[in-house]
Amino acid sequence: MKQKITYCFIVITLIQVLLPFSLLATPSLTSLQINEDIAAGPNRIYLTVTGIYSDGTSRLVSDPIWSTSNQTIATITYNGVLHFTGEGGALSVRVYKDGISTTKTLTVAPWPEKIKIETDLIESANPYRLMLLGEMSDGEERYLGPEDGVVWSTSNPFVAWVNTQGIVTFTGEEGYVNIRAVVKDLSVTDNVQALGGDNQTTAWRKGIKITEDIEYSKDPLELTLVAFLTDGTEEELDNSSADWSSSNKDVALVDSEGVLRFTGKPGFTTIEVVYGGYRYEEVVSVGRFIAKLSINQSLNYTTNWDGNSLPLSATVVYNDGSEYIQSSGLVWSIDNNKVAEITSDGILTLTGEVGTLTITAVGQTGSNNPAEDTLTVEVPDIDRPVPQRLFIDNNPLTSQQILAVKAYCIYSDGSLRDVSDKVAWTSGTSDTASVFRGNIYLTPIPGAVRINASYQGLNDQITGYNYGTTGNSERMYQLRIKQHGLPFSYKALKLTALVQMGDGNIKDVTSKVTWRSSQPLIALINNGVLTYTGRTGKTSITIQGYGFRDRLELEITPAQLQLQVERLEIKGELTKGAVQLKAIASYNDGTIRDVTTEAVWNTNNKNRAIVTSDGMVMFLDGFKAVEITASFAGQEASVVR
């Protein structure tokens, strides 16, 4: 007896221990899914639901709770039998089980319960529409069309033809014809015995065709449908009596009136028309072309642009969705040749004349309506600085065969601009030296060197002597000041004295020669360090040594003493969708000033990012490459992303 009690105790204990584990092992319901598609109609729909469980299994769920959001539209029984009342409106069907639910939502439209052809079917020389009247499930009556799923057919298209819109056309042939309309499970027919035309008819239809050669157009095209007859003549047909279709609606659409509209996308489509038992097809191809373009540059005018070449570009979107930035392949034009000139590939050059300029870029679209964009530039009537003095920076002394020099222009406002790319360079001694774009090329032939620069009526010349490289390496052949021209500066400037040896080598002898200023009240010179006093006038800087002498002529005008911007810098980075940039000007007297609101701001692609007049940059569609520039007092700075 004691052993039995012990055994029962062990069994009970095991049950108490294992029972919770068995309960924990039961998978829980995680989601529900209604299995059937729900479409409104007169027939009942038997719904079932599948449950997804925590162990990944799925199975039909028994005894769920069903409900509908509006019982005037549909009711559902406890076991999932859905019945529509015939009323229309929005409806949600919901199922619930163990704290989990799911819903299917649909819009219920009343359906026809009876249909009849209301128009009498009679033989007529003119096409006419058959009206199909439906008695709807909500008790209303209305006319039905293709959007309701109506399908029309004829038993004898050689006597009478009916299209998808219900337009019936009698051919003029004698015979019996039956016209039928079908909507889902409902159908209705009407028939007539056609007597045909008079017996004098000698030509009959033998086919149909579209008269136009269809090509892409941005505008709708109204197609012309004709029947060609047995006697070689043609008969124009009523477009609305035919059935029109396009095989590729991504390329083109055609309506029931035979009006063709292209989407603009490239590809092929077949335009098909059916009439009176005859069928005609035409394959249409739409190639790749420019669908839209927009000029990139903002072109807020700055005097820095006068006489400079500005490469323009446009953001071009093709009809296949691809997007490019391009200058070539477009037709560029301007409406005011006094203000600017433009090349065929979009290089704009402003003349400096005052006026309004409209720039136009055109891209071919494969139709009579090309894509184009225009941009208006206003060149205001402002005081423009006038070029006053041109100078080349260095003398032609080098141990190399190529020497790069620059040309600078001092303007009436005292500003200094690098015009090396704008001057006309010439050599007066082509046997010993040639020049191209500021690069002097020395020949092996000894002799005098003379290089000229011309810019807007101003001229400067540097001279020297090419001794070659065949002399005595210990002998000095010439002593020169390296600098040929200098502007005014508040800072001390370092000049350099050079000697050329017989073997062509150049040595710096700045500290070994005597320096002198002819007018110390204008400029002081000490061991090659030049300091302007701030007074106007002329002075000569002379060096002497080793039996040689050279001289540098300097002139300081009142305009040069004006405060000048030496450098412009943009503060800020293009790291956010909207960012405020600042323009900081550094002056030649060492001062610094914020000129953000005074600077002229531009973007090289306003289709990616725009910039306001006070330096606020806003990206339009993500962070794409763009350059923002600021111009002030003849200086320019930029920041790029």
How confident is the model at residue 368, as a pLDDT? 63
pLDDT digits (tens, 9 = 90+) for 448-458: 999 999 999 99
Q: How many helices (H) and strands (E) does the chain have?
A: 1, 63
- pLDDT class for 10, splitting at 50, 70, 90? very low
Measured distance CA(603)–CA(91) in Å, rounded: 53
How confident is the model at residue 11, as a pLDDT? 45
Measured distance CA(583)–CA(611) in Å, rounded: 13
Whose structure tokens read 């002379």?
A: 542
pLDDT digits (tens, 9 = 90+) for 346-399: 999 999 899 999 999 999 766 666 889 999 999 998 888 889 999 999 999 887
How confident is the model at residue 14, as a pLDDT? 44
- pLDDT class for 23, splitting at 50, 70, 90? very low
Contact between 150 and 187 under an 8 Å Cβ cutoff? The reply is no
SS3 category, 262 = strand
- pLDDT class for 247, splitting at 50, 70, 90? very high
When the pLDDT of each residue in the chain is averaged and rounded to a whole number, the result is: 90
CB count, 10 Å around CB of 590? Answer: 9
Eight-class DSSP state of 10: H
Domains of the chain, start order: 29-108 (2.60.40), 112-194 (2.60.40), 205-286 (2.60.40), 290-379 (2.60.40.1080), 388-411+435-561 (2.60.40.1080), 565-640 (2.60.40)
pLDDT digits (tens, 9 = 90+) for 65-100: 999 999 999 999 999 999 999 999 999 999 999 999
Measured distance CA(312)–CA(602) in Å, rounded: 13
Query: Which neighbouring-strand residues pair with 410?
Result: 389, 416
How confident is the model at residue 7, as a pLDDT? 47
Look at residues 332, 350, 335 and name the one whose alpha carbon lies nearest to residue 293. Answer: 332
- What DSSP line would sit under 387-435, residue for residue? EEEEEESB-S--SSSEEE--EEEEETTS-EEE-TTTSEEEES-TTTEEE
Whose structure tokens read 């199922």?
A: 95
Per-residue pLDDT at 404 exceeds 90? yes
Residues 6+ apart with CB under 8 A from 56: none
By CB atoms closer than 10 A (0-12, 13-18, 19+), residue 398 is: buried
How confident is the model at residue 21, as a pLDDT? 41
- Residue ranges of E strands in 35-150: 45-46, 49-53, 58-60, 65-68, 74-76, 81-84, 89-97, 100-108, 112-117, 128-129, 132-136, 141-144
pLDDT digits (tens, 9 = 90+) for 180-190: 999 989 999 99
